[in-house]
A and B are shown apart, each in its own frame.
Chain A
Amino acid sequence: MREQFPSLIVVVPLAAALLSPFIAYFSKTLVRWLAIAALLVSNISAVAVLIRVLNGGVWHYHFGGWAPPWGIEYVLDPLSATMAILVSFVALVVAIYSGPYVKDYAKLKAGIFYSLFLLLSVGLVGMMITGDVFNLYVFLEISSLAGYTLIAAGGNKATVAAFRYLLVGTIGASFYLLGIGFLYAVTGSLNMVDLAERLLPLLDSRVVIVAIVMIMLGFGIKMAAFPLHGWQPDAYTYSHPAATPLIAGVMGKVPAYAALRFFFFIMPATAGPVHKALQVMGILAAAGIIIGSVMAIAQKDFRRMLAYSSVAQIGYIVVGLAIGNSLALIGGVLHIINHAFMKSCLFVVAGGIRWRTGEYRIDNYMELNKKMPLTMGALIIAALSMVGLPPTAGFFSKWYLVLGAIEEGMWFYVAIIIISSLLNAIYFFRVLENIYMKKAEKEYKDIYKGRKLELPLQMLVPVVVLGIGILVLGIFNESLVTQVIQFAIPGGGL
């Protein structure tokens, strides 16, 4: 049993996804608990795997007992295990949060919702731990297909957003596929460890350069890196509110992690074509950080503001990859983790406010602190973390990024990160000002007078857990870096 933990991470939610439409015929409550239980098993298995790899080193798990060149290999190192924990944890929390939304659904609709939700989680977790580039494509498509459907489930505007994402996302995926096709042509292997060995003498060949560009384009579209982010604001704004925290919080981060794996583990990114390509991506990401932040300031819809802020935050991760020394990579990886928590917390809060009051415009958020104090507390923590104030998690990832940029003498990136922190402060403090400082109009007050507005327990628990999670990540970031991330960065402690 203990030898099979890596497969449990993926297989249990996958089986639950297949079962859930049938179980939904009997009971909606049962299917919800099935989803939560499956994600819990996945999460616990990931924790068990992390404990084992921290003690025993990298674990190459062969799926079904087939050896690597033919079978699928899962590579579990401290980094991928941590990422698997992150994804399954956020998915678990959001599954708890989805309860009140699904309450009024017809049985079959609830079953299909949880089926898609679990498939999305499976795809994302699978991308984190797989050691095979074609298997990565399959998981990418599983998560994307489930993601398109969950976005389209959000209503009439969402269908257009989902259609646009489907077109752009499929083009991105076929670029990625063509890229790994070329890599297969020159190396004859799709296993990441094999590829890393066989690509070394070939790095400057034209085929590999084309493949690098195509793979980078594919991942860039999937993670909504700056010039390729056109699909993202609409998709995050209009997607199904119960799934938005998972989609916005994790779905963009996973391809970013896959790109890190591709360009730093399979290919040496410190020199040669990958280095040059990452420099270009870095400059574009810097532009994206500024433009995304400015666009966020211009938004009136809270969800849309958060979506544009995600464009900027993905930029930080890409900048981390572009700087490329171990400090910046620690910053980038830490930001993947932190931002997954912050963004899902913010979207959980935004969805909760909309669920309770029907409001999504920032101007109408007056005096919400009196109605939902705990939710607003979580919002403050997440907002301060996005701005990057010290005790919260967001500060530390930016700190490592800035240290990395200083070490390389790249002052341009230092300036960008500091300017964008100020811009973050502008748009988040505007929200907080609306909530805490502005007085609500009298009629508005009367409508809500005497009504309990704090979220129901099922939604409140995820809000509080994610809010506290941001603080915990901030306080314990040093042990996270020294125990886990440092060992996982190429040349950073091994």
Chain B
Amino acid sequence: MITLNHYLLLSAILFCIGLYGALSKKNAIAILISIELMLNAVNVNLVAITKFLTPGDITGQIFALFVIVVAACEVALGLAIVVAIYRDRSTVEVENLDWLKW
């Protein structure tokens, strides 16, 4: 029997994997994918909560749709910026992007 806790656990694991990837990956596109994973973990969370706590309601599903739209915008924008960086520097490795000082 799969309960709410299983879904929440799945979501937490996905979120942590995404966060780890976003913090540790060197490739800009890999970082973007990791962030997508974080947002999808949140989606799993929202949908599962709605399904188990308020069955028949679709609030969580609607929110998930919103989040998917936002995530798509973010990835489109992120990739556009990556392309702009690549045209300038011929690299997408973030450790090579040392144009800025801290």
Could you say which of A166, A178, A188 contacts B42, with CB atoms under 8 Å apart?
A178
Q: Indicate if the CB atoms of A161 and B100 lie closer than 8 Å.
A: yes
A428 to B62, CA, bound (A): 50
Asked whether any CB of chain B lies closer than 8 Å to the CB of A174, the reply is: yes
Query: What residues of chain A lie closer than 8 Å to B39, measured between beta carbons?
Result: 170, 174, 177
Given known A141-B70, A159-B84, A167-B31, contact A148–B63 (CB-CB < 8 A): no
Asked whether any CB of chain A lies closer than 8 Å to the CB of B1, the reply is: no
Query: What residues of chain B lie closer than 8 Å to A171, measured between beta carbons?
Result: 19, 22, 35, 38
A29 to B25, CA, bound (A): 45
Query: What residues of chain A lie closer than 8 Å to B31, measured between beta carbons?
Result: 167
Q: Indicate if the CB atoms of B38 and A185 lie closer than 8 Å.
A: no
Q: Indicate if the CB atoms of A181 and B45 lie closer than 8 Å.
A: yes
Which of these binds chain B: A149-157, A281-289, A405-413, A419-427?
A: A149-157
Task: Say how far B12's CB is from chain A's closest CB, in angstroms.
Answer: 9
A160 to B97, CA, bound (A): 7
A166 to B36, CA, bound (A): 12
Main secondary structure of the interface of B (DSSP, over half): helix
Query: What residues of chain B lie closer than 8 Å to A134, measured between beta carbons?
Result: 63, 66
A145 to B72, CA, bound (A): 11
Could you say which of A145, A163, A167, A185 contacts B49, with CB atoms under 8 Å apart?
A185
Q: Indicate if the CB atoms of B88 and A159 lie closer than 8 Å.
A: yes
Given known A160-B97, A181-B46, A181-B49, contact A174–B84 (CB-CB < 8 A): no
Q: Indicate if the CB atoms of A145 and B73 lie closer than 8 Å.
A: yes
A171 to B39, CA, bound (A): 9
Query: What residues of chain A lie closer than 8 Å to B74, measured between beta carbons?
Result: 141, 145, 166, 170
Query: What residues of chain A lie closer than 8 Å to B99, measured between beta carbons?
Result: 156-157, 160
Q: Mark B12-32, 1 if CB is under 8 A from A, else 0.
A: 000100010010000010011
Main secondary structure of the interface of A (DSSP, over half): helix
Could you say which of A138, A163, A234 contacts B85, with CB atoms under 8 Å apart?
A163
Asked whether any CB of chain A lies closer than 8 Å to the CB of B10, the reply is: no
Q: Indicate if the CB atoms of B85 and A181 lie closer than 8 Å.
A: no
Q: How many A-B residue pairs have CB under 8 A?
A: 83
A177 to B18, CA, bound (A): 15
Query: What residues of chain A lie closer than 8 Å to B45, measured between beta carbons?
Result: 178, 181
Q: Mark A121-144, 1 if CB is under 8 A from B, else 0.
A: 000000000000010001001000
Interface residues of B in 38-69 (CB under 8 A from A): 38-39, 41-42, 45-46, 49, 53-54, 59-60, 63, 66-67
A173 to B66, CA, bound (A): 13
Task: Say how far B79's CB is from chain A's closest CB, in angstroms.
Answer: 10
Task: Say how far A423's CB is from chain B's closest CB, in angstroms.
Answer: 20
Task: Say how far A489's CB is from chain B's closest CB, in angstroms.
Answer: 31
> How many residues does chain A have at the interface if contact means C-beta atoms less than 8 Å apart?
30
Q: Indicate if the CB atoms of B53 and A185 lie closer than 8 Å.
A: yes
Given known A159-B81, A160-B85, contact A167–B67 (CB-CB < 8 A): no
Query: What residues of chain B lie closer than 8 Å to A185, measured between beta carbons?
Result: 49, 53
A52 to B66, CA, bound (A): 33
| Additional pairs, 15, CB under 8 Å, beyond known A167-B35, A230-B102 | A134-B63, A141-B73, A156-B99, A159-B84, A160-B100, A161-B100, A163-B28, A163-B82, A164-B100, A167-B32, A171-B22, A174-B35, A178-B15, A181-B46, A188-B53
Which A positions have Cβ atoms within 8 angstroms of B?
134, 138, 141, 145, 148-149, 152, 156-157, 159-164, 166-167, 170-171, 173-174, 177-178, 181, 184-185, 188, 190, 230, 234
Which B positions have Cβ atoms within 8 angstroms of A?
15, 19, 22, 28, 31-32, 35, 38-39, 41-42, 45-46, 49, 53-54, 59-60, 63, 66-67, 70, 73-74, 77-78, 80-82, 84-85, 88, 97, 99-100, 102
User: Closest 6 CB pairs between A and B?
Assistant: A185-B49, A174-B38, A141-B70, A159-B84, A163-B81, A234-B100
25 contacts between A and B (CB under 8 A): A138-B66, A141-B70, A141-B74, A152-B80, A156-B99, A157-B100, A162-B81, A163-B28, A164-B100, A167-B31, A167-B32, A167-B78, A170-B38, A171-B19, A173-B70, A174-B39, A174-B42, A181-B42, A181-B45, A181-B49, A184-B49, A184-B59, A185-B49, A185-B53, A230-B102
